[in-house]
Every structure is written in structure tokens, then in C-alpha cells.
Amino acid sequence: MIKLKVNVPGLLRIAVLAASCVGVNTANALDISGQLTDEQGGAVSGAMVTLNGENLGASTVSVFTDSAGRYRFKDLPVSNAQGLKFKTKVIGYEQLKVSAIEQGADKSLVADLFMRRIDNVAHQVPPSAWMAHFPNERATYAVMLNCAQCHQYPHSTVKDYASKLADLSIDQREQVWRDIFRFMRVKAVGIMPEGLNIDLATVPIEVFNDDANNGFSHGDEDTMAPILAAHMKTDFSHFAAQDYDKLRAPLANIDTQIREFQLPPPAAAMFHDSNIHRDGAGRLSVWSVDWINRRMARTFPDTGQVKIFALPKDIIGAHTLVPDTKGKLWATFQVSGQIGRFDPATEKWQLWNTGNRGWTQGGAGLVHSFANTAKFNLGFDGKGRLWASLGGVNKLVALNPDTGSTETFAAPPTEGDSAFSSGLYGGVMTADGKHVWFTQLQGHLFSFNTETEQIETVISFPRGSGPRRLAIDKNDVIYMPLFGAGELYVYDTKAKKEIGRFPLPDRAAAPYAVTWDPGRNAVWFGSGNSNLIYRFDVDTKRFMEYPLPAGEGTIVRAIAIDDQTGKVYFSYAPVAELNGPNMVVEITPGEPEIIDKTASAQ
């Protein structure tokens, strides 16, 4: 037995272990388990314990402690603990140390971790926590919708800025926030995908400030400035741990495992959608498209290997990635306006223009999302057409890949918006292919009949609510995230009836894209603002949360479920400044005992 005393806050190393002495397990299937306790000997439940090191088959592997503070890593593909590093993450605790690493009777390793409860968690909480006290109203929604889609909010630079306003009157602060909006109108343009080259320094400032040329709205800014002036803190040095507990859902459990795979440089990347594919031999890989650089990554979760593929030279801004039922992957190329089909077997693309391809011609389709089926495949209607949203012109496009023909249909206008600021967005298709349902960021969920080619139902939400990328289940029930309002909206399209609106435990979590999980009858969706993903169990109407090991500063995109294993796959990436991690994630959710440390708080 080796006694080890290390005292490194937040980071616990067992790399120093004389690994030759302990932990030698046959067949490279090492188990490590242990318990987390606090200074009083109490169990620290719901803590994420992350291992990183060489040869783990992933960049990191994470598990969670149960109600007794126990964690366990099973079958790690290493023969000993040499080079492995522990990192723990649990809001409300710090000061970790390893008291002892022992070899258990079954040759597994035992590593107990000691932690200290802290009351001030200002340096640990995600940005969403600083929005929790904002009133639940449209102005707050507008802040979330306009700001958190490009960077977590309040971003560190926003906090830096807000902290300089302490001595100002509310009226002065309001003016200063208006100035920052003008700044963001310029700033938001600065991140461009490969193939788009604009010298922003030569663009007249009037161009940025004119709503006709810009996605920001002076009307929204009129509501956002007062609420920020009144409610944005100017001191971010203290946040009470018990206040954050109120924002949490019950957590992942002891059988949950999260494996992360770092996608390769260049560092200035934004892998947007990921989706899964099984090859002819049944081997699963995760494909991810990089919106910034013309490339695609293929990650093999079984080995951790990542391969990079170049995307076609004439595409700009790879955005959405959805499989069909024939083993092909379909993508939207947002800025250049194409739809593409990729054959993983031949590694060849076929491209179709949506009729709005020419950004050099002054027209912008901004092809965005497909209408997906319940199983998150690309939907085809009775005429063999797929459907996608053209966000730049507020139109739906129907493409028949066999004939190459495209048709476009107007989406409903949203009040006070130009065509593109309506924000035509995500889509789904009903099981019979007769309807597609699409969202608009500025407040609509609507259906379009693919046979009569008419708009049928239009459901409105308060401006700023932010309906985004939605899912549909096998009974044609829609699950839709409200990014600005922080709710999950559930609607029965057959009965034409709302089933419910479910506020997230953390309303400023910025839910982005929902996926239905047929095996669990649950839906999953990522957060843009709180470094986690949520699971919502349809039968119990309960939320659960799964924190991301390295998710700070990132937005989680579409989530895919592997129906063979029930594992959950997605990627997350930064947007603003592009200076966060690009990761592919595999979650094995684990089904037994649910740790409900926050039950009393709720």
C-alpha cells in the first residue's frame, strides 16, 4: 500500500504513484473506485470525477459519485495508473486530496478523495447562475436569445465590463449597455468561416447600426438595455452555494460514464453538428462538421481515434449533419447555400444548390436545418422530397434529390422582423410525411402541409422566447426548446394540443436542440450557458442533468442517440473568440439509483 499526500485544489494527481507497485491488472481492464468525503466525513455525492492520461482511449473519462460519495471506473483500458490524473468537479467543494491509494482484494485500485465544502462558489458557477435573479419576462428572454447564442452570458468580458458600472446611475448604465450593443453589432461579424473574406475595418459604421443590414433589432435593444441596467450585477465576487443548488436538477448517477474526445487543431475551430453512423461492419463513428474550417472529423469512440476529412472546396459554413436510413449523411452548408449528401463508404459528396446559393450575387439562403424524423433521420415526404429551412429569406425549401428540383415556400412573417431576422430555424417531419413543423426564433412554431403545400397551424410565443431545434416522437408529439425563455415546450400535433411547458431548473441554461430518445422515452438537449446537458423523462416529467467535464465557454449542438446501445453522442464547441475546447462526447447514461441531492431544495 502506498500512502500519498497531495494537496492541490481542484486537481488531484495520482500520476506520482509508483505504478509498478500497484494497480497491475490483467488484460488492460483496470478498475478504480473510491469515495469522496468532506471534512466532517460526510459523503460528497454528485461529484464528477475525471481521469485523463495517455491510452485511456479517450481524452478524458468521467464518472459520478453516488449518494454515499462512491465512484467507480470500470474496465479502463490501461494496465496501471501510471500517468493518470484525477480532476474533480462539484460546485460547492474544493481542496481535494488523495489520502491513500490502495490495491483492493480484486487487484483494482482504491483512491479516496477528501474535499472541503465552500460557501462562495462565484468562481465555480456557470454564467447562467448570474442570470437567475433576472425577472422571468420578455426582456430577459431577449437578452438570452440575442447574446447567449454567440457566447455564454454573462461572458467573462461582460462581467469585466459590468463591474466598471458600479458607480453609475441606472440611466447611465442603460446608455452604456446600448453602447455595448453597438459594439456587439460589429463584434458579431468578426468570426467568419473559411471562404468568406471581409475586411471589417473598411466597413462603414452605419452599416453595422442599420437594422436593415443587421440581425440585431433596435426594438430588442430598447427592452434589453433597461433590464440589464436594472439587474446585471456589478460585483461578481460572491455567489452562495445554496443559491446554485436551487438551479440544479438531479444528477447523473454512479453508472454514468462520460468520455470526451478532443478534436484536433487548428484551435480556431467551431465543430457544429455531430451525428453518428455505423459502417457495414457495424462499427460506430461520430462525424462532426467544422463551421469555420472546411473539414469534417470522424471519431471512433471504441479506440479514440480521430480522422480529419476535407470538405468540398466550394462550400462555406458547414452547419447541420443528419443521417438518412440508407447509411448516408446529409449536411447543410449555411453560407454557400448548398445541401450535401456524403457517402462514408466512398467518402464522396454530392451537392445540391438550394436556389439561394449566391452570397456573391447578393442573395442569401442561409440553409439551416432539415426536417428530421422521430429517429433523428432525414425526413422525406410522399414525393421523395426533403425539407430544409432557408433562414436568410424566411422560406422553406423542398429538394428532390433524385430529380435535383427545388421548390421554395414562404414561412409566416414574424411581426416587426425582416425576412432573415424572423430566424427560420429547426424542423421535424411527422411519421406520415404529410407535415413538416418548423420554428422561428422570433416566436413561431408552425406546420406546413407537404401535400397541399400550405401553412396550417401557427403557434406564437412571446418575442425572445427563442423556439429552436426541435424533436418529434413516434406519436408525432413535438419537444421544443425555448432558448430565451428557458423552457421545454411539448405539443401534440395530432390532437393539436399543448401538453405542457416545463421550465428548466436553470432558466438561463439556454436550451438549444432537442433529440427524442425512443429507448428511454426521454428527450435530451444541450445547454448553451451552463456547461451541461439535460435529460427530460417524458413519463415522470423530471429533468436530470449531466455536467460536461470541459464544457466551459461552449455551446452543445444536436444530440444523437445510438439505438443499439442507448449511448448519447454530441459535440460542443465555443463560438465567441473560438477559444474553447472542441469535443466529441459519448455518454453512457446509466439507469439505476438517481442521486437526488437537490430534492430538498426543490
Instruction: Write out the residues near other proteins by the rule CB under 8 A.
Output: 146, 149-150, 157, 160-161, 164-165, 168, 172, 175-176, 179, 182-183, 185-192, 196, 198-208, 210, 213-216, 291, 317, 319, 334-335, 359-364, 366, 368, 391-392, 420-421, 423, 425, 441, 575
Cα angle 261, 263, 266 (rounded to 5 degrees) comes to: 160
Give the residue with the Cβ less far from other proteins, 172 or 521: 172
Other Cβ atoms less than 10 A from the Cβ of 592: the count is 9
Give the residue with the Cβ less far from other proteins, 207 or 538: 207
Give the residue with the Cβ less far from other proteins, 193 or 433: 193
Q: How far is the CB of 452 from other proteins (least distance, A)?
A: 28
Give the residue with the Cβ less far from other proteins, 52 or 217: 217
Q: Which three cell numbers stand for residue 511?
A: 436550451
* Separation in Å, CA 369 to CA 348, 382, 395, 423: 21, 20, 12, 11
Q: How far is the CB of 342 from other proteins (least distance, A)?
A: 21
Q: Which three cell numbers stand for residue 211?
A: 437594422
Q: How far is the CB of 388 from other proteins (least distance, A)?
A: 13
Give the residue with the Cβ less far from other proteins, 208 or 516: 208
Q: How far is the CB of 150 from other proteins (least distance, A)?
A: 4
Please list, residue by residue across 7-28, b when 16 or more beta carbons sit within 10 angstroms of its beta carbon and e when fewer do: eeeeebebeebebeebbebeee
The three-state secondary structure class of 138 is helix
Q: How far is the CB of 320 from other proteins (least distance, A)?
A: 9
Q: Which residues pair with 36 in a beta bridge?
A: 113
Give the residue with the Cβ less far from other proteins, 235 or 432: 235
Rounded CA-CA distance 346/339 in Å is: 18
Rounded CA-CA distance 405/102 in Å is: 67
Q: Which three cell numbers stand for residue 439?
A: 420554428
Q: How far is the CB of 203 from other proteins (least distance, A)?
A: 6
Give the residue with the Cβ less far from other proteins, 171 or 279: 171
Give the residue with the Cβ less far from other proteins, 248 or 319: 319
Cβ atoms of 514 and 557 within 8 Å: the answer is no
Q: How far is the CB of 586 from other proteins (least distance, A)?
A: 25
Question: Which segments within 84-171 are labelled E, that is strand?
Answer: 85-89, 93-103, 109-117
Q: How far is the CB of 313 from other proteins (least distance, A)?
A: 17
Rounded CA-CA distance 56/304 in Å is: 8
Q: Which residues pair with 306 in a beta bridge?
A: 299
Give the residue with the Cβ less far from other proteins, 26 or 361: 361
Nearest to 337 by CA among 350, 351, 323: 351
Q: How far is the CB of 575 from other proteins (least distance, A)?
A: 6
Rounded CA-CA distance 109/1 in Å is: 10
The three-state secondary structure class of 222 is helix
